[in-house]
């Protein structure tokens, strides 16, 4: 991962990554549910997309499913799409009935190709740092058992 930066004042996290594939493939991997579900959830979690309508105003409603079968739902609403260049979305955790947990975060994803390799740059804006913390806590849940242990240790430190 390149240029992973956190701007606390602007409340944004920005990072970019180059992939050894042409732009159209990478774009598909981000915008087609059957492909997204193959990589979005860190193993052993799985990503299960229930609804995905990749149009402006459309949404992806999906769950991260734990090995035990626990489902953590999220909604991503597409706010703008420039094919194979950029799309933006509003992201929020949700319950199983699609009721979002506010506030959400705003994502901006840019794609560019150079000599057969594709760079994806993601910028995530959070209204509050507390929300950023929550987002990370969910990241932990989606992660490995080791990450979960780290979270417990970190939370224990923080709650002292």
Partner 1 sequence: MRRDIFQAIADPTRRAIITLIALQAMTPNAIADHFNSTRQAVSKHLRILTECQLVKPQHQGREIYYSLEVEKLKEVDQWVNQFRELWETRYHQLDNVLATLKKQGQ
Q: Which is nearer to partner 1, 49 or 147 (CB)?
A: 147
For the CB of residue 110, give the shortest distance to partner 1 in the complex, in Å: 15
Strands 46-52 and 71-82: unpaired
Among 81, 92, 109, 151, binds partner 1 (CB under 8 A): 151
Per DSSP, the three-state class of 70 is coil
What is the Cα 93 distance to its own chain's centre? Answer: 11
**Under a CB-based contact definition with an 8 Å cutoff, are residues 49 and 61 in contact?**
yes
Q: Quick one: which of 109, 104, 120 has its CA closest to 11?
A: 104
Binders of partner 1 among 86-145, rule CB under 8 A? 128-130, 132-133, 135-136, 139-140, 142-144
Nearest to 13 by CA among 93, 82, 109: 109
Beta-bridged to residue 61, according to DSSP, are: 51, 75
Cis upstream peptide for 44 (omega within 30°): yes
Interacting residues with partner 1 between 28 and 47 (CB under 8 A)? 28-29, 35, 38-43
Near partner 1 by CB under 8 A: residue from 10, 25, 51, 56: 25
Site for partner 1 (CB under 8 A): which residue of 4, 53, 70, 83?
Answer: 4
Over the window 64 to 83, marking each residue x when it contacts partner 1 by CB under 8 A and - when it does not, the resulting string is --------------------
| Chain mean position to CA 3 | 17
Residues near partner 1 (CB under 8 A) are: 1, 4, 6, 8-9, 13, 15, 17, 19-21, 25-26, 28-29, 35, 38-43, 128-130, 132-133, 135-136, 139-140, 142-144, 147, 150-151, 154, 157-160
């Amino acid at each position: 991962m390149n240029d992973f930066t956190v701007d606390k004042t602007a409340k944004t996290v920005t990072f970019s990554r180059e992939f050894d594939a042409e732009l159209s493939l990478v774009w598909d991997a981000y915008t087609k549910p059957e492909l997204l579900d193959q990589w979005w959830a860190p193993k052993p979690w799985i990503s299960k997309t229930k609804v995905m309508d990749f149009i402006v105003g459309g949404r992806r409603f999906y769950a991260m499913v734990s090995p035990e079968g626990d489902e953590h739902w999220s909604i991503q609403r597409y706010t703008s799409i420039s094919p194979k260049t950029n799309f933006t979305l509003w992201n929020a955790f949700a319950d199983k009935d699609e009721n979002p947990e506010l506030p959400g975060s705003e994502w901006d994803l840019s794609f560019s190709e150079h000599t057969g390799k594709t760079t994806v740059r993601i910028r995530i804006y959070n209204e509050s740092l507390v929300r950023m913390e929550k987002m990370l806590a969910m990241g932990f849940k989606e992660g490995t058992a080791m990450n979960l242990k780290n979270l417990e240790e970190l939370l224990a430190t923080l709650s002292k």
